[in-house]
Amino acid sequence: MKAAFILTSAAFLLFISLLHLYWAAGGKWGLEVAIPRTPSDSEHLFRPGKGATVAVAILILGAGYLLLAKSGFVPPLLPQQFLQWGCILCAAVFFIRAVGDFRYVGFFKRVRQTRFARIDTRLYSPLCVWLGLAFVLALTA
């Protein structure tokens, strides 16, 4: 059960990383609901550039590596202490993202009527809890 949870989480992270690379290359699928929007749902709050999108893809891929390495599914290329702290940081980041900024993202957002907000409540925030739990589980390995 633990192995399936970790491997599924790593697959999610790989998919999300590849999706960011797709967007950086000019892909449009899913992009309209990937960035928070103004309360009127008329425009995005920000427009990340290609460099930032690639950087996010690399960070997410790195998180997947940390998860797999700490859990023993891939050889650790980094010291165990780095893997330990990396997993603690990733768990914290995903849990904080699930809680949100209390305005546009997370379970406690106030702006709830946009397309992004609806998908955030149903998919993005629960996925962040799932991923946070995966990193906590990896820490108990």
Look at the block and give the residue holding tokens 């633990």: 2
Read off the pLDDT of residues 58-97 as tens digits, 9 standing for 90 and up. Answer: 999 999 999 999 999 999 999 999 999 999 999 999 999 9
Domain membership of residue 40 (yes or no) is: no
Cα(46)–Cα(139) distance, rounded to whole angstroms?
34
Domain count, the chain: 1
Domain membership of residue 37 (yes or no) is: no
The answer, yes or no, to whether residue 42 has pLDDT greater than 90, is no
The answer, yes or no, to whether residue 12 has pLDDT greater than 80, is yes
- Give the long-range contacts of residues 100-107, CB within 8 A, separation 24 or more: 100/125, 104/36, 104/45, 105/36
Domain membership of residue 107 (yes or no) is: yes
For residue 24, what pLDDT is reported? 97
Domain membership of residue 59 (yes or no) is: yes
For residue 141, what pLDDT is reported? 67
Domain membership of residue 43 (yes or no) is: no
**Host domain of residue 85:** 2-26+48-139
Domain membership of residue 39 (yes or no) is: no
**pLDDT, mean of residues 117-138:** 97
Domain membership of residue 97 (yes or no) is: yes
Domain membership of residue 67 (yes or no) is: yes
Beta bridge mates, 44: 37
What string of DSSP letters covers 41-108? SSSBS----HHHHHHHHHHHHHHHHHHHHHTTSS---S-HHHHHHHHHHHHHHHHHHHH--SSSSSTT
